[in-house]
Amino acid sequence: MSAEDAKTAMEQMDRDGDGRISRDEYYATWREYLASEDPDAPGSWLLGHP
């Protein structure tokens, strides 16, 4: 994963834009990564560019 992909992944995980990733945001991202088929979903960025 490139540094730019990592930055984008963190921005996608921070759903409320407060600069922090809460436990709920973290879990929501993993659930989305594992269950969603939407390539534009924030969870799709968890391990790099979809």
Task: Report pLDDT digits (tens) over 4-38.
Answer: 888 888 888 899 999 999 999 999 988 888 888 88
Q: What is the mean pLDDT of residues 31-48?
A: 81
Domain assignment present for 50: no
The number of domains in the chain is 1
Q: What is the pLDDT of residue 14?
A: 93
Domain assignment present for 7: yes
Domain assignment present for 27: yes
pTM of the model: 0.71
More confident call, 41 vs 20 = 20
Torsion, Cα 46 48 49 50, to 10 degrees, reads -50
Distances (CA, A) of 16 to 7, 20, 26: 16, 9, 12
Domain that holds residue 33: 3-45
